[in-house]
Amino acid sequence: MSEQQTENTTQEGASTEASSGLKLNGLYAFKIGMMTVYDDNGAAVPVTALKYDPLVVTQIKTKEKDGYEAVQVSFKQKPVKNSNEAEQGHLTKAGLKNIAFYFSKEIQQSLPEGVAVGQKVALESFEKGQTVKITSRSKGRGFAGAVKRHNFAGGPAAHGSKFHRKPGSMGMRTWPGRVLKGKKLPGHFGDEQTTVRKVQIVDVIPSENVLLIKGAVPGAMNTLVKLMKEE
């Protein structure tokens, strides 16, 4: 069998596992980039493509033992030699030997019937047309002024105003004699957890392990994105 045939067989096996596994209320995927697709009426729809790396259940948390219900999933395999003893011990306890993952995350929900450690999570946990909530880390833009960071209007652009892109007066006098916390000032812009609600899933492509999300998704390429069903 050629390398190309082997690779195709592996991809087909992965997509089959992703489509026949456990269904949860949430998934994790990696942002690929943006593209345009056309709906049934021929209208152009801007979408963000998310690459799904099959999730494996590595721990089940219950109210009796942990105080809440959740399913821990691990994904994106890495060489075992690159994992520490704590990671290896956790996976061995779960019955997964000689395997390691870069990510281990929780999906908090009521435990689905028949959930067990070692199960693969199905990409079809989400369907076309469904509304979800997405959470990811926005792009970091370094140090920015108040106009860029907080959309301040700034001052007149005319010559001699001496007030173009400054934050302006902060109203501090003898009392309180300090800058109050939370003031909108220059500082680190971006690189923070961002949540967007009521985002529509345009399409689910199990054969390629890809989700198409309508519109933009916060973050740069390869950013990890969490998707949760809207309640």
Check if the beta carbon of residue 83 is closer than 8 Å to that of residue 117.
no
What pLDDT, on the 0 to 100 scale, is given for residue 21? Answer: 83
Alpha carbon dihedral 128, 129, 132, 138, in 10-degree steps, equals 80
Q: Is residue 118 part of a domain?
A: no
Cβ atoms of 30 and 222 within 8 Å: the answer is yes
Q: Which of 13-27, 136-150, 181-195 is predicted with the least confidence, judged by mean pLDDT? A: 13-27
Residue 216 within any structural domain of the chain: yes
Is 221 within the bounds of a domain? yes
16 pLDDT exceeds 60? no
153-184 per-position pLDDT tens digit? 989 989 998 889 988 888 888 998 998 898 99
| pLDDT recorded at residue 68 | 95
Q: 200 lies in a domain?
A: yes
Domain count, the chain: 1
| CATH number of the domain encompassing residue 150 | 2.40.30.10
Q: Residue written as tokens 């998934």? A: 27
Which residue range forms the structural domain that includes residue 204? 22-53+125-157+185-231
Whether 141 is covered by a domain: the verdict is yes
pLDDT at 8: 52
The per-residue pLDDT for range 68-94, each reduced to its tens digit, is 999 999 999 999 999 999 999 999 988
Q: How many angstroms separate the Cα of 33 from the Cα of each of 46, 48, 50, 78? A: 11, 6, 8, 24
Q: What residues pair up with 27 in beta bridges, in sequence order?
A: 227
> Does residue 18 carry a pLDDT above 70?
no
- The verdict on residue 68 lying in a domain is no
pLDDT tens digits, one per residue of 98-128 = 899 999 999 999 999 889 999 999 999 999 9
Does a structural domain hold residue 204? yes
Question: Residue 187: pLDDT band by 50, 70, 90 thresholds?
Answer: very high
Residue 122: predicted pLDDT: 92
160, exposed or middle or buried, with CB in 10 Å at 0-12, 13-18, 19+? exposed
Do the domain assignments include residue 97? no
pLDDT beyond 60 at 1: no
